[in-house]
Amino acid sequence: MENFNENNYLIVLVGPTGIGKTELSLKVAKQLNTVIISSDSRQIFRDLKIGTAAPTPEQLSTVPHFMVGTHSIHDYYNAYQFEQDVLSLLKNKFSENPNVLMAGGSMMYVDAVCKGIDDIPTIDGELRKELLERYEKEGIESIRHELKILDPVFYNQVDLKNHKRVIHAIEVCLMAGKPYSSLRKNRSKERYFKQLHIGLDMDRAELYNRINKRVDKMIDTGLEKEAKEFYPYKHLNSLNTVGYKELFEYFDGNISFEQAVELIKRNSRRYAKRQLSWFRRDKNRVWFHPEQLDDILKYINTNILI
């Protein structure tokens, strides 16, 4: 591990989808004269611009951003890889500025950097395809049975109705040659830098109204066209994302366009609720309304060594 440096602070700004993290992070980064590391698991994919509300070229030119648009939708990427990439990046950025801002809402990605994540092997694409085809052909009971044989411990912990979780556990068992449960240590790793955690929240009605309006804006700016372009690749994990998967259902003829839009709004609101529940587990996180810029800057300046 790197030597601990009490002068290095990773300022972690999180919040639910649609709350305004991008605009606020730009203002905070400017005041701190630092860079922004995105902790959004979908903004990593360079082609998914509208559906992930990726920073615009203007925003990217205003403050240097990292971990945005770095991968193709065809690339396999997970939270463990993100942890390693960001830790490597921080070594360089802390040499330029003692304070670095990380902003985003992907729960596992944030925790991977702040607390560490277990070293899970990279999954072979052919294996994933094979298991998905088996699930579609034989149903969930078949893959449940295999997981029970490969890892009875995790079998009793996982949501057996969630086929994606079951399949992923089987993938890990087969790739690692050992039970998935044996790789899940669930222990926080030591970091060589200090951390300051900030959360954004607002009244639910206000947040849900913002989410609904953002979805309408995405539709107006071409989300349907963007999703149509990637429809042939809908099986990819990168496209298992709110905004795309609902439109894929529309393209399949299962629902109407209007139903797809309403589902995007509903699923975005549900995701926001899950994000807030997850982030509130960390009792060290201090919460603000996104319009409280001055209060946020005061909190940062009184809690870091400048």
Domains of the chain as residue ranges with CATH: 5-118+187-303 (3.40.50.300), 125-183 (1.10.20.140)
Residue 132, judged by CB atoms within 10 A of its CB (0-12, 13-18, 19+), counts as middle
Averaged pLDDT for residues 262-271: 96
pLDDT at 7: 85
pLDDT over 70 (residue 282) = yes
Averaged pLDDT for residues 83-97: 94
pLDDT over 70 (residue 1) = no
Query: pTM for the complete prediction?
Result: 0.81
| Assigned token pair, 1 | 């591990």
pLDDT at 261: 98
Q: Give the CB-side neighbour count of residue 209, counting CA atoms within 13 A.
A: 5
Q: Which residue intervals of the chain are DSSP H helices?
A: 21-32, 57-62, 79-94, 107-114, 125-138, 140-150, 152-155, 163-176, 180-183, 204-220, 223-230, 245-251, 257-279, 293-303
pLDDT at 297: 96
pLDDT at 187: 66
pLDDT over 60 (residue 262) = yes
Q: Contact at 8 Å (CB) between 14 and 40?
A: no
pLDDT over 90 (residue 47) = yes
